[in-house]
A and B are shown apart, each in its own frame.
Chain A
Amino acid sequence: MPTINFLLADGTTRSVEATTGRSVMEAAIHGNVRGIDAECGGCCSCATCHVYVDESYLPLIPAADEMEDELLQGVASERRPESRLSCQLIVSPALDGLTVSVPESQS
């Protein structure tokens, strides 16, 4: 199973096993990672599962679609080029070892 590393706001890292085909957000919820609220449960409605993707992995991840891009305009913490909604990041073997940073605030 691919491993996803969550760099938390307090500076610690939490590594969780993720399921191929499922989202990084789900991996966070099932791995009990704090700081990813995912209020809408992953239907791209709330922008509370915001993460910053490690730049070296960005080329491996499909770009945000229009809906995600729009929602990212409304995230509570600063939007950066590497900002994504983790509910829209689908885990694949290529993402094994991916690190995402969890922002200070989601809402």
Chain B
Amino acid sequence: MFGSITGQISFYATLALAFFLPGYVLLLAIFGKSKSLSTLERSILPFGLGIISVDFLNFSLAGLHLPITRLSLSISIAIFISICWAIFKLHRKNTNTDTESSLFNFSKSQLTLILLLIFLTVFIKTAYLSDTVFPTSTDMGHHMYWTQWMIDNHRLPDYDQMPDFIIGEQIPFGTIGILSGASVFSAFPVVMLLLVNLLGILTVFILTLRIFKRKNIAILILLFLGVLYAITSPQAKFVSGGVVGNILGNLLMPLAFYFYYRSLEFFETGFAAAENSRAFLALAIFTTFGLFYTHHLTAFILLFIFAMIAAIFFIANFKDLKNIFPALSRLIFSPQVLATFFAGLVFFFFIFTPNYVKNSAVNTAVGAPSKETRVGLTMENLRSSIGEARIALGFLGVIILIAGFKKRNFGHSIILAWAVMIFLMSTQPHVLFINLPSNRIGNYLSYPIAILSAYSLYTLFGADKKSKVLGLASSGNLIRAGFIVALTFVLVDGISDSAAAFKDKTDLAPVAQTFDASNYLAQKTSSSDMILKDHNYITADSWMKIFLMRGYKYPLSRGYFKRYEDETKPREMCTLQMIASPDNAEARDCFAETGTDFIMINPRYDSAQFRKLKNFDQTYSSSGINIYYRNN
């Protein structure tokens, strides 16, 4: 339980001091009090930067062979903050006569709408999470095992060399666990992911505001990405489901795009880099490295998007390439940018290399699609995952964006490439030689589609002259029209989608029974025993390993039945046979081979085959869990 006031205060203090503050002082060290960043941006950007900074601090501790404890983490974070603060004090003038961009001066009605949309976003997500915050999801259980491992062993997990986990997915949780003492069984992992998810939406809000320079488009982002489809993947469902990499990726990717855009913003007015362009590019590279340390799929997608951004931007500006390349060259070959890039490379290849690089996971992601789930999504699939209203407006947004494309606005290239590339990757993977589950890629499409939806809605209904692309704009009041249309969407599509995702009141007894039985096994067995449990019919079974802490692959698990029939990926059959037919010859060989002596199953489905055997004792019984001991 983590419900105590002091426990929560230490959690919030950790969020503020270990994540927000490092990011905040990093911005302060780089930009001083320059008004090139608004107060709102200085509040939204630091958390993502803080996560990456803490990643690198943990790598540094690991590289120095220092234990990762509350003391070492606190000292390293304090040193980082002190250095940034000293740089700020030494090199920056505290006075700044610039005025903050008028982009962030919202009218009273705009402010009201922003607050209302933020409220609805948080309210809907919280209402959903109130029934799903409990430690039950399989993915979260796997991630929390490694988090607990990091907390217990005071070092970064090596994942037994498995490429499926990436260090950046565990460090934020491990850091919170170590510094605040929060239990992985509490709500803290879900709350952390909720915060990351919300900040990802706000990052897209400021990115959109900067690119389109229209406050109402940014406000509509809060509607399309925050309020509508607030539950469906990759939103609150991924938060409660512990889809850590995707949630973090959907913060870090827009964050990287934000910094890349700001670094090349000067192209809109000329070819001379602005004062802070190099600093923005350095931060973009820093964020990109952070993404590569956090989630390989998001990083893989980012590479493809980046290729398309470059193609679009260079083709669109073909006649100006003779000016663009020298400008880019001056920007890239600058001390700030090169230092960040090479420091990132040194960390990546010499101090802490992610497992997926060592194990050549890239080879398995590239090639002809090898499974039915990898051959691409249909339009029907996209409609159901992104939402009918949003995808219709999104496609319209692509056409409108192309029609009104501003070739010198790097942001237009980013938004177009973001949407088009993920669309191609998820629907036509064979064209790009991508061999990854298409739905996992498709989950990333909702972010750029939300931006394009907001853009198209604004262009169609916006009141100001600059929104009149294709002559489609009406002369109505944007706020009023937006409200009417928004309410229609909320009632008809977006909210109904969310409503369908709400669960009936969660029955918590199965979770409690799994944990009680796990606790029993932790007390009554040792590492010389081998436990086999069922994944099909036991709730929250992936959390068992955290009670036992005897290795990621302990206990053995009977996986989903369909996995044993997957011809593309043959797997061992022992875990299936030892539960399904514990007395047949193959199963007996399996018991001998694996040393399995305890079996945990759901009695409604799997007890009959054990009850008739004399070499199995039933040592634990509740309505949802039976445990059998092989007694010979």
Do these two chains interact?
no
Taking Cβ atoms with an 8 Å cutoff, the residues of A that contact B are: none
